[in-house]
Amino acid sequence: MVRLLIFTIVITLLACCQGAVIVDFGHEHISVAWYSNNRVDILNDSHGNRNVYSKIAYRCKHQDLIYGQQAQSIIGNQLINTISPLYNEMEQIENCTIQQDFTSLLALQIDNLFYKLDNENNTRISLTDLLSLDSRHSSYFIIPSTFTPYDIERIRLILPEVQFITKHKLHAGMILDAVLKKVIDIKDEYVMIDCGAHETAITKVKMINGTQFSIVSSNVIPLSIHQLNKKLAGLVGSVRGVSENHNFMNQINELRVKLSSNQEITMFIEELEKNVTITRDQFNSVIVDELKPLENVLNNIKSELNENATIFVIGGLSYTPRVKELIEQTVGNYSIRLSGDQYLMESAKTLITLDNMLDSPMNIIDIIPYPINIKINEQEIPFINNEHQVTLDQVYNIPLSKTNKLEFVADIDGTKRSVRIYSIEKMEKDTNATIYFSSIEKGFVSSIQIENSTIQLIPIFNSSAIKEEIKEQREKEQTKRESEAAIIAKRQEYEMLLNDFKRYITSGIDIENLESIFVDVERRIVWLEDQLDLNLEDIEKEYNEFKTKYEKELALYFDFQMFNLRMETMGTKIFKVIEEMRLLRMNQAQEYAKKINDAVQHTSNRKSDRESFEASISKLYDEMTNKVHKKKRSITLRGYWQIFGYVMVAIFVILILYLSFFKSKKSTVTKRPHIKHH
């Protein structure tokens, strides 16, 4: 316990000197945290959202990519393809081909997700810039435990300095953080059940000697909200059409959530145009097969679990009553429920601080999170699984048959994926390979040696070509942004001109064919509002045609605009003069203000009236200015005369004093000789 207290103090002090940007790039949403001076703040994006949609919408017709909340808002309302570039997935609705590699799409997505760092100054910064802000703030990605080193290297093509935290290691970090914060007591075993929206992950952790958190196993089960919603939709009915189906599935999700707190729900389904009643028992009966893998994994863990273990449950899917019941029936009542992005990010901070400590009194022993086979001469040999794990950061001698290629193959949910492929040259006989194994996020194999052989890592993708494509796509995106900015600016200019001109022609001016001009202007305004996909050439063509057609009327309009500008300037001048008159206590200030107000009330927008009004206002301004100048001169002269009077009085007083002093002195001199004579 004393060791734990010392470790808590040390880790807190060290955290004060560090900083990081932490990104949880989930299947549905992205959350970003700013870690600085031992404080973790989850950042809002430029729209004020803590969680940003993590998929891209691609519209084939326009060949454009839409990101973040805007992408989420149009999915289901338009025929579009939905892409998850980090996960190499695409839901294809429109029959079209996307030319870009998923990695370059990921680069564009990260470039186009904007965050606010300073609400007071409204500072917006892209996620790409945020992750490379300065050297003190390292960047970390929280990634699925099912990722391979090749997935990680793909991300590093975009963000070379980024570091990674696997989900199963984060689970261990969350347990460690709960222990440090005394949310729970120190136990021998812990189980973290993470019921996420896309998958369910279960991590088992053991405490060794009170100083080590050893990850024993990590299981990922393909149990998702989408699967359960599909089963529930089968009970409710089916609809046709992509757009209708998306809206329908949103209602199904709402129905599933309501069933978590009610035994029976009656709900009006818009796409079916009827009320549907579903009971919780009906829902539970159709999801039995989907929950079997979870039940099997939990039973296996239960058979080896210490009775004194602590069970953690996190994730929104865990609130589904049948999932909750299944967890309680297999591993018992769970001890702790953790929720919220804040706790997840705080735990990531603890892991980051722990990794940066040179000599930590407490550490986390990691594992390879999925089974791995060694493939030699087209034959696969089991190597790593739950029964046979390797200790990471250690050297192993593995017997190999003579071969020219060594491949490590992962079995992830029944799908075989390469973890690492090596070419071997000059291997002349069967021998041992000396391999230094590391964690998945650190590349899996740190080094490999075979006597008298040359070994080289074989990349499974052309990094140079992908980097070139990323550069090319970013340049295209920049050109597109500049083009869109020019279109928006021209569109706003044309729209402003039409609306101002409309106000001008309806303000009582004397103009020919007023009614037909008004109808044409109104038509153009409606047309501009309806045409959402205009290019710059289309807008400029329409704009120039409008200016040519109404050249004479626009000349009068621009003259009217100049008149308004002159009157604004004149109004400012008049206001200042009237204020001066009031300060000078001139009675005429109120009189002139009334005259100007009367002139404004009795003028019209006709050109002759405007000219007459401008002349009269200018004349009044000149009169007011002259009167103010006269008043100032009068005050100045009065001041001079007052000063002159004061000076004359002073001279007179001085003269009297001087004469009085002189007479007194002369009398004293006369008396002195008379005294001496006596």
Other residues' Cβ atoms within 10 Å of the Cβ of residue 320? 23
- Please report which confidence band the pLDDT of residue 434 belongs to, taking 50, 70 and 90 as the band edges: very high
Residue located via tokens 């998923």: 102
pLDDT digit string, tens, across residues 215-263: 988 888 888 888 888 888 888 877 665 545 777 888 888 888 888 888 9
- Please report which confidence band the pLDDT of residue 134 belongs to, taking 50, 70 and 90 as the band edges: low
pLDDT for 357 beyond 90: no
**Which of 62-66, 144-148, 659-663 is predicted with the least confidence, judged by mean pLDDT?**
659-663
Cβ-contact 580, 628 below 8 angstroms: yes
Average pLDDT (662-674) is 61
CA atoms within 13 A on the CB side of 658: 6
Dist CA 28 CA 26 (whole Å): 5
Q: What is the pLDDT of residue 77?
A: 63
Dist CA 648 CA 653 (whole Å): 9
Q: At what angle do helices 167-180 and 2-15 cross, to 10 degrees?
A: 110
pLDDT digit string, tens, across residues 258-277: 888 889 989 888 878 888 89
Average confidence score pLDDT of the chain: 84
Average pLDDT (509-529) is 84
Q: What is the CA radius of gyration of the chain?
A: 41
The fraction of the chain above a pLDDT of 90, given in percent, is 17
- Please report which confidence band the pLDDT of residue 359 belongs to, taking 50, 70 and 90 as the band edges: low
> Per residue in 233-261, is it b (16+ CB within 10 Å) or e — as a string?
beebeebeeeeebbbbbebbbebbeebee
Q: Which residue stretches of 76-140 are H helix?
A: 102-111, 127-131
- Please report which confidence band the pLDDT of residue 4 belongs to, taking 50, 70 and 90 as the band edges: very low
pLDDT for 88 beyond 70: yes
> Per residue in 45-54, is it b (16+ CB within 10 Å) or e — as a string?
bbeebebbbb
E strand intervals along 401-516: 405-412, 415-425, 431-437, 445-450, 454-457
Pairwise pLDDT comparison (279 vs 37), residue with the higher score: 279
Q: Which residue stretches of 260-287 are H helix?
A: 280-286
Q: What is the pLDDT of residue 553?
A: 80
pLDDT for 16 beyond 80: no
Q: Tell the burial category of 572 from Cβ atoms under 10 Å away from its Cβ (0-12, 13-18, 19+).
A: exposed
pLDDT digit string, tens, across residues 476-493: 888 888 888 899 899 898
